[in-house]
Chain A
Amino acid sequence: MSAFQIRIIETGECFPCDSDQSVLEGMVKLGKRGIPAGCRGGACGVCKVEVVSGSLERKVMSRSHVSEEDEKNGRVLACRISPSSDLELRVIGGMKRSVCKQESEKSFLK
């Protein structure tokens, strides 16, 4: 088990994620408000992300949400990938709104 850093490009936030965790689990374990974890099994598409850099292990995920072209372009479901290096990603699924909103709320509180 190794720990890697995952960086969310839109917000600049980083969180640690072990190689035996899914990227979504790492994100949820931050304990922040509003990360809407969906089915966590690769079916619902809520946690779709685009991995811009880094390497990862992936489990099978539903073709309803991740086409072959998506997969070639690094667009995957965070619940079905685990990092094998540090990763940089964009959030593109249903949780994008709350991940980005959360950042603006945090700024407001500063």
Chain B
Amino acid sequence: MAMTGVLRPGHAQIRVLDLEEGVRHYRDILGLVETGRDAQGRVYFKCWDERDHNSFILRQADCAGLDFFGFKVLDTATLNKLDADLQAYGVKTERIPAGDMLETGERVRFEIPSGHLIELYAEKTSVGNGCGLVNPVAWTADSERGIAPVRLDHALLYGPNVAAVQKLFTEVLGFYLVERVLTPDGAGNVAIWLSCGHKVHDIAFAEYPEPGKLHHCSFLLETWEEVLRAGDIMSVNKTPVDIGPTRHGVTRGCTIYAWDPSGNRFETFMGGYQPYPDYKEALTWTFDNFGQGLDYPQRKLHETFLTVVS
């Protein structure tokens, strides 16, 4: 498909309780590439196969969770148009100047009805993936270091007003609904999976009474064997695992959920099918089958999935 508008998840800024403990986890165990530190003390990372300077930022704070989640858009004209569209829709936006984040251009930030801060930006310095741009090599040392995901894939965010969030993402930002779980009475959606391209999801939301909560950020692996290898690496390093390795019913992706040292859940994910925006009907799970949606082999709705967030 032609990629226009919002292209993909671009960055997530996460709060950690102990910065160096967090750095050791994301750099040495997950295997992200550290790309810089700024005057605020934030530490920047990218996944090895991402070309842009950063996709995952750690900030030390006294409570864990998500500061903001950003999407890269096609160009500056698109950024300006989406900013105007958001304002016309009644969403208050804020412009954050270029350079506030390392190697990152101007950002448009806004709060969505679930209480999360979402950002759009068009410019971020391309630093490459280390394989070269002419006659590139297939892999580098960073692609074998730690779990070594290829990119930041998506996030699942918990908060109220999922219906209003869905409306904003589909009517203003150009996302489409790929899958959903119905509320117990079947009248609404308790969880939604949204795509801006043809990945099975770029962001997901689940209904939760407290606003602004992080369920997980997800990092993409390329094979099921790499997911199993990730499980081994987690066990070697005593990383607390929540669920998996297993396969989701929702998205058909393969997964492990685990926690970083500050209690932020992260996912190592691969697979899923390839939806396109002409898929008019979202795949639908009834609430009583949510367990299969989460853990397809065990058909089990793990309590921690519903209750543990940061």
Q: Tell me what chain A mostly uses at the interface: helix, strand, loop, or mixed.
A: loop
Within the complex, the shortest CB–CB distance from B240 to chain A, in Å, comes to: 4
- The verdict on B67 contacting chain A, using a C-beta distance below 8 Å, is no
A64 to B259, CA, bound (A): 17
A61 to B262, CA, bound (A): 8
**Chain B residue with the shortest CB-CB distance to A40:** B240
CB–CB B62/A62 < 8 A: yes
Within the complex, the shortest CB–CB distance from A23 to chain B, in Å, comes to: 15
Residues of chain A in range 25-61 having any CB-CB distance to chain B below 8 Å: 36-44, 46, 59-61
What B residues does A42 contact at CB under 8 A?
17, 64, 262-263
CB–CB B304/A36 < 8 A: yes
- The verdict on B264 contacting chain A, using a C-beta distance below 8 Å, is yes
Within the complex, the shortest CB–CB distance from A45 to chain B, in Å, comes to: 9
What A residues does B64 contact at CB under 8 A?
41-43, 62, 64
Within the complex, the shortest CB–CB distance from B156 to chain A, in Å, comes to: 15
A50 to B261, CA, bound (A): 22
Within the complex, the shortest CB–CB distance from A61 to chain B, in Å, comes to: 7
A36 to B303, CA, bound (A): 8
CB–CB B264/A41 < 8 A: yes
Q: Tell me what chain B mostly uses at the interface: helix, strand, loop, or mixed.
A: loop
Within the complex, the shortest CB–CB distance from B307 to chain A, in Å, comes to: 7
Given A37, A44, A60, which contacts B62 in the complex, CB threshold below 8 Å?
A60
Interface residues on A, range: 10 to 19
What B residues does A60 contact at CB under 8 A?
17-18, 62
Interface residues on B, range: 20 to 34
- The verdict on B189 contacting chain A, using a C-beta distance below 8 Å, is no
CB–CB A44/B17 < 8 A: no
Within the complex, the shortest CB–CB distance from A102 to chain B, in Å, comes to: 15
- The verdict on B65 contacting chain A, using a C-beta distance below 8 Å, is yes
Within the complex, the shortest CB–CB distance from A43 to chain B, in Å, comes to: 3
A41 to B309, CA, bound (A): 11
Residues of chain A in range 4-24 having any CB-CB distance to chain B below 8 Å: none
CB–CB B240/A64 < 8 A: no
A39, A40, A44: which has the most chain B beta carbons within 10 Å? Answer: A39
Nearest 8 pairs of A and B residues by beta carbon:
A43-B263, A41-B263, A39-B263, A43-B64, A43-B310, A62-B63, A64-B63, A40-B240
Contacts A39-B265, A62-B64, A79-B263 known; 15 new A-B pairs at CB < 8 A = A36-B304, A37-B240, A39-B240, A41-B17, A41-B240, A42-B64, A42-B263, A43-B17, A43-B64, A43-B263, A60-B18, A62-B63, A62-B263, A64-B64, A64-B310
A and B contact pairs by CB, cutoff 8 A, 22 listed: A38-B307, A39-B263, A41-B64, A41-B261, A42-B64, A42-B262, A42-B263, A43-B63, A43-B64, A43-B65, A43-B263, A43-B310, A44-B307, A44-B310, A46-B307, A59-B17, A59-B18, A60-B17, A60-B62, A62-B63, A64-B65, A79-B263
